[in-house]
Amino acid sequence: MLHIRERWIQFHELVLTPDPPDAPSIKLAEVIPHLQRRIDDGDAFQLKDNERSAYRITDFSQTRQKGHPEALVLLFQYADQDATDPVFADLQTGSLRLEPKLKGEGVAVSAHAVIGLQPIDGKEDTYPFLLEIVPGLGRSSVAPFLKRQIKEATEGQFEYLDEAKLEAKTYRPASELLGTPSKSFVDELERGQLAGLELIKRVKTAEALDEEGYFFEESHVLKVSLSNEARKDDIVQLAVSKLRRWGKNNGYQDLRVRYKKKEGRQKSFVMGTSEADLHDVLVLKDELITADVDLQQCSPEINQAFAAKMISLLYES
């Protein structure tokens, strides 16, 4: 479940390359008007999974904070018809209230993304990209969706001279979202091991206090080490795929993993999400933001106060 006042932010880099590659580069500032028009027209969406889920960009803003470069803020939305209906429980009585989805609806979440319009030093085609971590809207889903929106928004909008054929041709930007590794994780890879991984399962007690009984957490602490033959980046794949397999074989059905970073902070994630997003949780640089206002599970518009805190992190080294 998402915390009402806290969100993890992941650090990424948005790379824009021309397609075809021999065409001139295109700056992000040149792409923005076309992307904004697509969002304003309500066309920035994609139905997936036999039209049982949908991705959208629902809000857009361009802002400049005092002391910070200009930034683009996007609000992504994900809705899934196959997600379980939410249930609310009275804290005093335990009575439950189910909120069923109506026809055509899906359980929805939203995530803010903040993109700096000033390229990263030494990388003229690369821009800092911060993403709020929300289940269903990790890099593995946001990256291809955003790539498609940029492609369709800019189709036929840019021209260059093909000097070999002496004729004008259309071209467009192709986008790629690259993760920024955390320093502590890189340090652990240098030592050839990843420690602080804890598998957790909820176990129902045999002696029930009432008809429903109660649950406690059972955990198993592991350390993943590299063999002499393995490459250092193999440890990530080991930590993700082999932990899932080990947990399933040992009765960890509702499997979660906690990873304690060297700085003492703990991160927890559910093994049911995609391997790519689990990889990002382990590897990428991140920051915990505490908001001054309540954050909704899914918002129709950008929370400007929260976005401002993300913008302040944009060009951190």
Residues 40 and 151 in one domain: yes
pLDDT at position 277 is 61
Residues 83 and 131 in one domain: yes
Overall number of domains in the chain: 2
pLDDT digits (tens, 9 = 90+) for 260-296: 555 555 555 554 445 556 566 666 788 899 999 899 9
Q: What is the DSSP string of 229-281?
A: TS-TTHHHHIIIIIHHHHHHHTT-SS-EEEEE-TTS-EEEEETTS-HHHHHHH
Two structure tokens written together for 284: 């990428």
pLDDT at position 198 is 60
State the burial class of residue 50 (Cβ atoms within 10 Å of its Cβ: 0-12, 13-18, 19+): exposed
pTM for the full predicted model: 0.75
pLDDT at position 26 is 95
Residues 150 and 187 in one domain: no
Q: Which of 91, 114, 142 is nearest to 7 (CA)?
A: 114
Residues 162 and 33 in one domain: yes
pLDDT digits (tens, 9 = 90+) for 160-188: 988 878 889 999 999 999 887 666 555 65
Q: How confident is the model at residue 238 (pLDDT cuts 50, 70, 90)?
A: low
Residues 233 and 295 in one domain: no
pLDDT at position 282 is 62
Residues 149 and 272 in one domain: no
pLDDT digits (tens, 9 = 90+) for 38-86: 999 999 999 999 999 999 999 999 987 777 778 999 999 999 999 999 8
Two structure tokens written together for 151: 């492609």
Q: Which of 157, 138, 83, 73 is nearest to 282 (CA)?
A: 138
Residues 24 and 81 in one domain: yes
What is the 8-class DSSP label of residue 290?
A: E
Helix or strand or coil: residue 38? Answer: helix
**Which backbone phi and psi does 298 adopt, to 5 degrees?**
-145, 120
Q: Which of 181, 245, 242, 252 is nearest to 219 (CA)?
A: 252
| 311 in Cβ contact with 72 (< 8 Å) | no
Residues 95 and 83 in one domain: yes
Residues 257 and 135 in one domain: no
Residues 167 and 29 in one domain: yes
Q: Which helix (H) or strand (E) holds 158?
A: strand 158-162
What is d(CA 119, CA 8) in angstroms, rounded to the nearest whole number? Answer: 23
The residue segments making up the domain with residue 153 are 1-180+285-317
What is d(CA 196, CA 182) in angstroms, rounded to the nearest whole number? Answer: 15
Q: Tell me which of 27-41, 58-72, 199-213, 228-242 is least confident.
A: 199-213
pLDDT at position 250 is 73
Q: What is the DSSP string of 114-146?
A: EEESSPPTT-TTEEEEEEE--TT-SHHHHHHHH
Residues 211 and 167 in one domain: no
Question: Average pLDDT, stretch 145-153?
Answer: 97
Residues 58 and 112 in one domain: yes
pLDDT at position 209 is 42
